[in-house]
Structures are given as C-alpha cells and as structure tokens.
Amino acid sequence: MLRNYLKVAFRTLWKNRTHTFINVVGLSVAFGTCILLFLTATFELSYDHFHTDSNRLFRLYFLSSNRDGSVNKESPMPFPISPALKAEFPELEGVTRWFDRSASVRRNDQTYTKDVRMVDADFLHMFTFPLQKGNTRTAMNSLSDIVISGNMAKDIFGSEDPVGKPLQLRLNNEWKAFTVTGVINNAPKNSSFEYDAFIRSENAGDYADNKGRWDHGSHDVYVKLKPGTDPQTLQRRTQALMNKYFASDMKERQEQGYPKNELGFQRSLILQPLLDVHFDTETTHGAGISRTYVFTLMLVGLFILAIACINFINLTIAQSLSRAREVGVRKSLGAQRGQLFGQIWGETVLLCFGALLIGLGLAYGLLPVFNRLFRSQLTLSDFLQPTVLLTTILGFLLITLVAGGYPSWFVTRFNAVEVLKGKVKVSRPGLLRNSLIVTQFTIACLLIVCTVIVRQQITYLQQKPVGLDKEQVVSIPVGNGLNGNDVLKTMRDRLSNQPNIVAVSGSGVNIGAGLDGSSSRSIYGFMYGKRDVSCDWLRVDTDYLKTMGIKLLQGRDFSPSFSTDSSSSVLITQSMAKALGETNPVGKFIKPDNKTFQIVGVVADFNLYSLHQEAKPIALQMQSSLPIQYILVRVNPQNLTGAMETIKASWKLIAPKQEFIGSFLDENTERWYKRERRLANIFSSAAGIAIVLSCMGLFAIALLTIRQRTKEIGVRKVLGASVFSIVGLLSRDFLKLVIAAIIIASPIAWYAMDQWLADFAYKIDIEWWVFALSGILAIVIALLTVSFQSIKAALMNPVKSLRSE
C-alpha cells in the first residue's frame, strides 16, 4: 500500500513538474531564509539566560524627567552607592560595580591589549562565570589580584599554569604589579559582559577623588536579590535612599520647575532586569539592540514562509479540477475519504520534506554570506542544538498540516457521482484564492515600502551636515599603553613638514565608531545664575578646529601663546551660549565640577555623537590632566594613500609594538548606523524574495487559469476579439487583487515606519510618492508576470483552442 502511494505521489509530482518546481523552490527558499532569521533572533533573545539566577540579577539606573517632560534615564552611578546599598538593604545578596574598560598588559617585556574590567569581589559569585582555577570567594580579596579568562591565559602563559604568576597593567599612565589568582571561563557569545580579565574597582584612577561624591557617576552597578525578594517592593524602598543622599539635587530640580517622573518623584532608582539590558538602546551607549529589530527578523521569516505556503495552497486548489476525476474514480472503487486525504497529504509531506532538506543545505551554504551581511555569529553547532532540531520538526509538521491539510480536504470532498458525470466545476476564482493572492502582495508591498524608507533615512543621516568636515581626517586610537599627550607632541613634530599633512590635533573622544570599538562620554551639569546647564565636556588640543573644519564664530581659538588655555579656558558651541542665555558669552565664567573656567570663544554647533539623539551643547577644554585618547590628522585630499602611509610610518617609529588601527572619520560615522544598514539589508533581501515567490505563485495561477479558459479565449478570437483586449481581460482580475494589496499595505507600512523613525532625533518625512512608487512597482511586476501567459494564450490559433479538451 505504502509503495503504491509513493509511486502515485511521484507520478503526480512529475506530471505537474512546473508547479512542483515552483513549490519546491518557493518552500526551499522560505525554509532556508526562515531558519537563518529565526536562529539569529533566537540567539539575540538568549542573551544572559545562561546565568543560574538570571531572574534575580538587576542593573541600576536613575529615572527623571527633562524640562519638556520627556523621560531621562542615566546608568552611570556614583562610587558610594554600592557600599550604601549593601549596608542599608539586607535583601541584596551581592552588589558589584562594572567598569567597561581596557588596559595594556605586560609580561616579560611583551605587551598585550586586553579588556580588563573593574568589578567588586561579589561579581564572581553573582554571575555564572565559573572559575577553572582559583577560589570564587578569595580570588579578588586584594587590590593587586587579577582573574584572567581562559583565552587570556592561553595568549600570555601558553600551557603554563598562570595562578600565582605576576602581571603588570598600565593604569593611570603607570605600570602596576598584579598577581593572577584565578582563571575564569570565557564569556559565552550571548553574554552582555565581555572581558579578558577582572581587577578590583578601587583601582580606577578617579576612585580616591570621587569615592565619597554622590554627584559624580562613572560606572554601572549590578545587584543580586536574595531568593523570595520582590523587585518592585525593593525598588519602592530605594526611594528612601534617594531622599537621603540626593536631597539637595532633587530640591534644586523642584525649584527649577522640573516635572516629576512617572513614579511621582524628581529622581528614582530603577532596578532593570539583567535580561532586559541587551535590549536597552538608551542607557548602554549604543551597545544594546532593540527588541523591535529581533521581532522584525522573526516577522520577516514568517512573511516569506507564509508566501511560500500561500503558493502551495493556491496551486493545489487550482489543480483540483484535474484531481477531481482521479478522486471520483478512486471513490467509486471503494476508497475511503481518509485514505484519499492521506494519499494527497502524503504528497505534500514528500514535497515539503524535499524542500526542507534543500532549504537546510541553502541555509548552511549561505551561512558565511549571511553572517557577513547581517553581522550575525551563527555556526554549524547552532543548527544542531536539540531545541532547534525539535522546533524545526514541529514547524515542518505544522506547515505540512496547514499547507497540505486544507487542499487535501478540499479535493477529497468532491462527490464521486457528480465528478464522473462531469458536473463539478472549480474553474472560477474563489474567495480563498483571491484572499491569499492579496495577502502575498500586501506583504511584498509592505516590504518594498519599508526598504525604501529605511534606505532614505540612512542616506539622510549620512548626508546631513554635522557641523564639521569629516572628510580626509584620520583618527588614530592611542591605546592604554601610551601617554596620549606625549604621542600627540611626537606626531606633530614628525608630521609638521610633510606636504600631505594639513593639520594635527588630539581629542579625548572619537567621532564615530572607530576600529578600536571604544566609546566614551563625559557630561557635566552645573548652575549658571539660575539656569541649569548640561553639556558634553570634550578634551581637545590646539588646532582642533582647523583639523575638524569647525567654524569659529566669536572670540579666539586655543593657542600655545596663552598658558591658561591648558587649565582654565574653554570654547563653547552656539547651543551652549543659548543655554547660558548669553548673546556674547566671551569673557564670562562657568563652574562645572566646582572649577572655574573662562569662555574664550564660541564655535558653530557640531554633532559629537550619532543623529539618533539631539546634539547636546559642548564645552571644549584643554586640561592637561585629562588624557588625549585619539590623534586626529587632516590629510591632503590629492594623495590620501601617500598620506596614510606617512602616518603609519610615523606611528611605527613611536609605537613599534602597538598595532596601527587608524581610520577615516567618514568611515567611522558610517559605522554609527550599522544597525540601520543591517535592517535595510534584511528588508531589501526579504522584499526581493517575497516578490520573486509571489510572482512565481501568480505565474502558476495565471497558467492554470488560462488553461481552464482556453475554449473561452478561442471563442472570443473567432468573434473578433483583439490580442490586446484578451490580454486585458485575462490580466484585469489579477491587477484588481494587486491594487487591493497596495491599499491594504500602505497604512500598515506608514504606521510601522512612523514608529521606527520615532527613535531618531533627526529624521525624514514619509512622502506619498514612496507608496505610489511601491504600488507602481508591484503592478508592473504583476502585469509582466501575468501578461507573459496572457499574450501567449491570446496568440494561440483559435481552431486549436476549440479542439482542446
């Protein structure tokens, strides 16, 4: 019996090989795409779930309101808050600081650059990062203890046991001795914490000066609750701590008219679950990823799978007339409806299984390309996870049941007597088929609109003036092993007479995302008269304006001729002057961080960070006590390659053991928007696949429909119908469906994109022509697809058409 079923199934599939090919290709592409997208989304959603007590781990941030009532979240915490939390809240099992920093490590005159994070001793038993060697309770008791990862142990010590061995770390411009007290497992790929080593947080350079200050935030704080503790209850209790230690700050905010936050206070301490940190795009300095992006991946995968299933259902139902006679004969010979259902559904299972195997092969083969395009980290092991395999099997069974179940039921319900008498007619289009075609093209139009708008926004962000000239400027990270001030002086001396070099300066903050992957930000708030002012505090050096192409509007630039410039002078931007309420602020004094600075000049506004958020006022200063982290070199545009080689040669003489990772600022600023480009790639790829699959399905439906109307076409030609009128007749019904899809897709696309654009401080307006363009494109594609078969049918000899059975 089974052998007979298989034989009939293969014969049927081969007989309708055009439709079989369309279904296999559609389902294979859909399976492969869906697997890759779902694996990527699952990986993102798995972040930090490996911690044993992940539901008891929280990160802290301050919640307040801006003057306009918008929400303000700040994650940097003051040093004294950690000991205060441990002393005043017995519900806490552990508290740790987290400094996301790196440092140079030296052993036997060999220097390495490693991610050396500063934490408290509680960190090791709060989080599930097991120690391979050493004791969790004692490994970080001393300020000179260092716990290193397995990778770092291999890089520095090879096969040698590192425990008890000395290392030197360059901290605060000097080398300090540490002793390895433990080796910890490497961080999993889906961890929010990345590290090479851990040392105590008291090693931070500003710890001694700020360990008692409640108005200076510089790090994140994580807490672990004891079992049975209610997070909401504990959070309400933390308001007493806020009232105790931040009373003066909250009083000032109230006097200045700041609105209360959503909890009814001026400032509150919020416990954010660790499992939400990876999806926080506000307080993680750009490191987080929006949940919307993750769910978009899954939704796009479902869209493509839905289109392939729609094709399958439509084609199977459209072929029902040819299967009707087979069903009638089988029923008359005694076949039960269940047996017929099993036979036809079995064909679906066979076809879908073949498509699944091909889809898995496509997914594996395209894995390197997919990882490169979408910045994913999928490997073969991700495919072989038990949960992935189980989900794939269950998804396969569900798809075969949905895609094959209804068509099988539809075909087997024909009455045997009516079929054999030739009374069954299913040639006219049904509501289900039309609805499915509309759904297909709705999805395709939706993806086209999203693709166009996302790419428009990316282009807008890249081309919008940011107040400085980022072209032909090279940014070179100094690194932790060198003194930035000394490096800048040496680079100036070596490049001063080079014809390819226009200007050299330095900064504490990079513009854009450099190759070192590092970012930092210093924001100061202070009172100016009765005004509360907040600004970015930017460390620069002489010639910064010339190097960056920033216009000086009032006063003077920094100059070596003025000794006070390196200690007590500042330049401010236009928006800073406006915040101060001064039309001519030159000569006025400001007091951030309880120090007095004189304003010597006003410069044009420029964007120090990405356009996701509005530019803050900026104060540029040259305090020699603050380090230069980046060397900035403006080069001659006529010889970029030669200029870069000159810079590399100079760097090699200054730091022969340190890798040169300089990059052009325009490339750095493009990396600000890598998530948006990744989303654009997803939408454009998905739109392309959706259109191709939709057209394949439409082509097959048009082919079947035209075959069923062969005699009608012949009669119309005999009666004098033109080719154009026949093509219009055959295409009209399909075009109506596409137009309906455009009408449905447009408001959905507008709403979705309007919500997405809300994340940007600077954004485009959604124009009507985007919807018109996508609609015209969908109509043209559908018309070309249908017209190919329509013209072929219209040109057929009517005598041949009328003779056909």
781 in the Ramachandran plot: left (φ > 0), alpha (ψ -120 to 50) or beta? Answer: alpha
Among 180-184, 224-228, 376-380, 800-804, the minimum mean pLDDT is found in 800-804
> Could you tell me where the DSSP H helices lie in 127-181?
150-157
What mean pLDDT comes out for the span 762-788? 84
Cβ(315)–Cβ(700) under 8 Å?
yes
The whole-number pLDDT of residue 353 equals 83
What are the CA-CA distances from residue 291 to residues 58, 149, 387, 668 (Å)? Answer: 18, 30, 21, 25
Ramachandran region of residue 467, left (φ > 0), alpha (ψ -120 to 50) or beta?
left
Question: Contact 610/464 with Cβ under 8 angstroms?
Answer: no
How much is the average pLDDT of 84-109? 89
How many whole angstroms from its chain centre is CA 49? 19
Cα distances (Å, whole numbers) of residue 63 to 229, 235, 241, 261, 270: 22, 12, 14, 7, 7
Report, as an integer, the average pLDDT of 715-725.
76
* Rounded CA separation 647/644 (Å): 5
- With bands split at pLDDT 50, 70 and 90, how would you rate the model's confidence at 665? confident
Q: Where are the alpha helices (DSSP H) in 656-722?
A: 665-671, 674-708, 710-718
Instruction: List all residues 6 or more positions away from 408 whose beta carbon is below 8 Å from its beta carbon.
Output: 316, 340, 341, 344, 345, 348
DSSP state of 202: G
3-state helix/strand/coil string of 222-263: EEEECCCCCHHHHHHHHHHHHHHHCHHHHHHHHHCCCCCCCC
For 492-517, what is each residue's pLDDT tens digit? 888 888 888 888 898 888 887 776 66
User: How high is the pLDDT of residue 339?
Assistant: 66
Longest Cα separation, the chain? 107
Per residue in 356-368, pLDDT (tens digit) is: 888 888 888 888 8
For residues 47-63, b (16+ Cβ closer than 10 Å) or e, as one string? bbeebeeeebbbbbbbb
Question: Mind listing the pLDDT tens digit for each residue in 460-488?
Answer: 877 777 777 888 888 888 876 677 788 88
Structure tokens at 767: 């124009």
d(CA 559, CA 546): 12
- pTM comes to 0.74
Neighbours of 499 (CB within 10 A): 11
What pLDDT, on a 0 to 100 scale, did the predictor assign at position 122?
A: 93
Amino acid at 315: L
DSSP state of 540: B
387 in helix, strand or coil? helix
Nearest CA-CA partner of 647 in 517, 545, 498: 498
DSSP states along 78-138:
ETTHHHHHHHH-TTEEEEEEEE---EEEEETTEEEEE-EEEE-TTHHHHS---EEES-TTT
Q: Quick one: pLDDT at residue 790?
A: 74
Q: What are the structure tokens assigned to 574, written together?
A: 């236009």
> pLDDT at position 114, please?
86
Q: Tell which wins on pLDDT, 546 or 68.
A: 546
SS3 assignment for 399-436? HHHHHHHHHHHHHHCCCHHHHHCCCCCCCCCCHHHHHH
Q: Check: CB of residue 95 under 8 Å from CB of residue 101.
A: no
Rounded Cα–Cα distance for residues 552 and 555 (Å): 8
Tokens representing 377 are 């980290």
pLDDT of residue 447: 82
CA angle 585, 588, 589 (to 5 degrees): 130
The one-letter amino acid at 346? G
Sign of CA dihedral 568, 574, 580, 583: positive
Interval 79-84 mean pLDDT: 93
Half-sphere exposure of 251 (CA within 13 A, CB side): 6
Is pLDDT at 708 greater than 70 in this prediction?
A: no
φ/ψ (deg, to 5) at 98: -145, 115
Q: How many CB atoms lie within 10 A of CB 744?
A: 16
d(CA 651, CA 642): 14
Q: Give the pLDDT confidence score for residue 208 in this predicted structure.
A: 84
Residues paired with 58 in a beta bridge: 223, 273
Number of residues assigned to the chain: 805
DSSP 2: H
pLDDT (0 to 100) of residue 16: 66
CA dist 440 and 482 (Å) reads 59
> How far apart (Å, rounded) are the C-alpha atoms in residues 106 and 166?
9
* Calpha distance 563→236 (Å, rounded): 51
**Lowest-confidence segment of 337-346, 616-625, 680-689, 768-777 by average pLDDT:** 337-346
Q: What is the tens place of the pLDDT at every residue in 206-253? A: 788 888 888 777 789 999 999 999 999 999 999 999 999 988 888 877
pLDDT at residue 429 is higher than 50: no
The share of the chain scoring above pLDDT 90, in percent, equals 19
Least confident of 214-218, 380-384, 564-568, 579-583: 380-384
Mean pLDDT (whole number) for 557-583: 88
Q: Distance (Å, rounded) from C-alpha 569 to C-alpha 587? A: 10
pLDDT of residue 11: 66
119 in Cβ contact with 99 (< 8 Å): yes
Q: Are 474 and 644 in contact (CB under 8 A)?
A: yes
- Three-state SS at 361: helix
pLDDT of 422 > 60? The answer is no
**Average pLDDT rounded to a whole number, residues 757-776:** 84
Q: Which of 160-169, 226-235, 423-432, 613-622 has the lowest mean pLDDT?
A: 423-432
136 is written with which tokens?
């969790």
| Mean pLDDT (whole number) for 301-319 | 77
Assess whether pLDDT exceeds 90 at residue 400.
no
Q: In the structure, what pLDDT confidence band is assigned to residue 428 with cuts at 50, 70 and 90? A: very low
CA nearest 521: which of 461, 391, 608?
608
Question: Among positive and negative, which fits the CA dihedral 711, 715, 718, 722?
Answer: negative
